[in-house]
A and B are shown apart, each in its own frame.
Chain A
C-alpha cells in the first residue's frame, strides 16, 4: 500500500485526506492575547462574525488542549520566553497564527522592548497583517489555514507533501 513511501495507495491517501478534513474543521484556538488586537479577536470570535462556522470557536485556555496558537498583540522580549513555553506545551499537530502586524514584524515598535516578529521565537504558519486586522481578514486567514491543513498529510498514513508544521 506504499505506507510512508513515494506513491501512496488509494486507501491511505483517502484516510490522510479524511484526517486532514477532520483537523481543519475542529481547530481549538489558544488565544495568546497581549494587546489591542485582542479587541478585534473578541469581535471575530463573537456571534457577529462567528468563528464557529469554521469549527474554531471554542478557545481552550490550556495549551495542552489547543492546536491553534493565536498570537494576538505585541510580544515583548520579556514575554518571549512565556510564548515559547506555551508553544512547547502544545501537542502536535499544532499551528501558529500571527495575528496583527506586531506579531508579524514588530509593527511600528522598532525599539528596545519588542520582538521583531514572533517567527524569531516560534515557527509561524500564517501571518495576518493589519493594525488591527479587520475580522474579514481574520476569516480569510482562517480559511487559508484550513486549506494548508488539508494539504498536510498524516505522517503514518501518507507521505508528507508539505512539511509537517510545528516540528523543529
Chain B
C-alpha cells in the first residue's frame, strides 16, 4: 500500500487523513482507486471534493456492483468516478454498503447534485437505499415492478407485464440461465 501511495499524492493525502477507514488502494498508470469503510464514505467524498490537494469537483458516475457470484462479502459495492477539472485528474472511490439483506449507505446528493438520478438508478436496479436522498423512488422501472433487476439473484428474463399478454403462436421458452 505504501509504495502505491508514494507514487500518488492524492492517495497519500487520503491515507494521511483516513488511514483507519481505507480498506485497500490500487493504482495502475495513474488510474487510482480507493475502497473506504461505508461509515466514513461521506467524509471521504467531502474531502475529495473540497480539499485543495484533491478538488474533485465533478461526479462522472455513480453506480454499483452486485458481487454475489464473486462470492465476496459484503455483497454490494458502490463505485464513484470523480474528475478534477482544475487538475485534470481522475479518481475512483468504492465503498461497500451493509447489511446484505438491506444495504444502506449515505447519500452524496448534498455534495454532488448530479448524484440524484444516479443514486435513484442504483436504488431501482440494485435496491440499495441512500440515507438522506431527497427523492429515493424508482427512476427506470415502473412502480408496480417487484424486485431489483440488476441483482444477480433476479432471473435475467423474468418479465412483469403491465398489460395482459395476448396468446401468441410459437411461444418459445426463454433462455434459461442456471
Contacts and interface: CB of A to CB of B under 8 A. Distances in A.
B166 to A, nearest CB: 6
A121 B175 CA distance: 21
Contacts, number: 49
B162 A81 contact: yes
Q: Indicate the size class of the contact surface on chain A.
A: 10 to 19
Interface stretch (B23-31, B79-87, B110-118, B150-158): B150-158
A77 B166 contact: no
- Name the prevailing secondary structure of the A interface residues: loop
A44 interface: no
B142 A112 contact: no
A112 B168 contact: no
Contact of A77 (B154, B162, B168): B162
A112 B160 CA distance: 7
Contact of B174 (A110, A115, A122, A123): A110
Interface string B140-178: 011000000100001111111111011010000011000
A77 B144 CA distance: 11
A111 B166 contact: no
Given A77-B142, A119-B168, A112 B163 contact: no
Given A110-B174, A112-B156, A121 B142 contact: no
24 contacts: A77-B142, A77-B160, A80-B161, A80-B162, A81-B162, A84-B163, A110-B156, A110-B157, A111-B156, A111-B157, A112-B149, A112-B154, A112-B155, A113-B141, A113-B149, A113-B159, A115-B159, A120-B165, A120-B166, A121-B163, A121-B165, A121-B166, A122-B166, A123-B166
